[in-house]
Amino acid sequence: MSRENEVEIPEVKKASGSGIPIRGNDIDTDQIIPARFMKVVTFDGLGEFSFFDLRFDEDDNEKEHPMNEDRFQDANVMITNANFGCGSSREHAPQALMRWGIDAFIGESFAEIFAGNCLALGMPTVTADQETVEELQDFADANPDAEIDIDVAGQTVTYDGKTVDVTVDEGQRKALVDGIWDTTALMKSNQQSISEAAESLPYV
């Protein structure tokens, strides 16, 4: 296979940035990106519609929501509670949050399909117990510019001079750390091998 077909997928061993607390359990994908904003050909521009119905009223006036606050506009680590991203399997949800500026998530738990869709974008979804998450949310609330460092490989989060243990699903951790999370890119880079294998099969 010629090198020109090879695709380099970045390893995601760490993620760092300031945090934005999104409080509440069972926040579903319809809250993250309402269905009416999914009638798009590409995902470009979805970011501005993240949490739209929680951020704006029927007259498009702002409600109280962290994503409307100036102090969180540069945040890239979203700190959530239990069962975040539940509901429908729409991949638009992590796509919208990524385009808003989010690179990684720390939460009590994530819906399995949502976590899988995040992995396909190279976005870690690391978990911790309720107390740890709530302390992180309070810290981000009080210190919106402070750095939060996620060590995906080492399964730790460091902030405010202390390090806490978190959990990264083993399959996700391996895919991110080894740079094999972008399955579409992997298939494209191995297209010749795939074609050769297909041609060798008697039933194709």
Q: Is residue 2 part of a domain?
A: no
Q: Report, as an integer, the average pLDDT of 177-199.
A: 63
The strand pair at 14-17 and 148-151 is best described as antiparallel
Q: What confidence score (pLDDT) does residue 181 get? A: 85
Q: Is residue 172 part of a domain?
A: yes
Q: Is residue 4 part of a domain?
A: no
Q: Report, as an integer, the average pLDDT of 2-9.
A: 57
Q: Is residue 3 part of a domain?
A: no
The 10s digit of each residue's pLDDT in 64-111 is 999 999 999 999 999 999 999 999 888 899 999 999 999 999 999 999
CATH of the domain at 172: 3.20.19.10
Q: What confidence score (pLDDT) does residue 140 get? A: 98
Q: State yes or no: pLDDT of 192 exceeds 70.
A: no
How far apart are alpha carbons 14 and 154 in whole angstroms? 9
159: closest CA among 16, 28, 39, 32? 16
Q: Is residue 1 part of a domain?
A: no
Domain count, the chain: 1
Q: Is residue 189 part of a domain?
A: yes
Q: Is residue 142 part of a domain?
A: yes
Q: Is residue 54 part of a domain?
A: yes
The 10s digit of each residue's pLDDT in 121-149 is 999 999 999 999 999 999 999 999 999 99
Residue 22 burial by Cβ neighbours in a 10 Å radius (0-12, 13-18, 19+): buried
- Domain carrying residue 76: 9-200
